[in-house]
Amino acid sequence: MSVLEQIDRILLTAAVVLVLAAGLLLLVRIWRGPSMLDRAISLDVIAALIIAGLGAKSAVALDSFYFPIMLVLAFLGFTGSVGIARFIAVRDRPAVTVPTRGAPGPDTGETKEGPQ
């Protein structure tokens, strides 16, 4: 084995170890996350870590079989994060104050939710 192959193998091993460590930390964030948004972001990052792990496996095996799978996972991760963002944006929409006619003062107004 040449020096370049040894360096390549060491770097790939380090990449796999870092992906596994990041996965463990993300599992802790999912378990202890103070809000639902933290958990959702952690799940999205885990999808990215799965893609990175498949890329590392593909590099170790010198096989391009996993590239279409990585592309589909990236698309699913993107659409999932957009869906979560839209859900949280609707759920956390601030209340809109609509002033009533003929009533003086800033405190008179009814609160309504934003557009549906």
> Tens digits of per-residue pLDDT, 48-81?
999 999 998 898 888 899 999 999 999 998 998 8
Rounded distance, CA 101 to CA 7, Å?
75
Q: State the pLDDT at residue 116.
A: 53
Rounded distance, CA 46 to CA 30, Å?
10
Q: Encoding tokens for residue 99?
A: 């002033």
Q: Encoding tokens for residue 92?
A: 């956390």
For the cut 80, the answer to whether the pLDDT of residue 108 exceeds it is no
Q: State the pLDDT at residue 14.
A: 93
Show the CA angle centred on residue 70, arms to residues 4 and 76, nearest 5°.
Answer: 150
Write down the residue that tokens 């796999």 correspond to: 16
Rounded distance, CA 80 to CA 56, Å?
23
Write down the residue that tokens 């933290």 correspond to: 38
Rounded distance, CA 92 to CA 77, Å?
22
pTM for this predicted structure: 0.67
> Tens digits of per-residue pLDDT, 7-58?
988 998 999 899 999 999 999 988 887 887 888 888 888 899 999 999 988 9
Measuring CA to CA, which residue among 86, 82, 77, 85 is closest to residue 46? 77
Write down the residue that tokens 């279409």 correspond to: 68
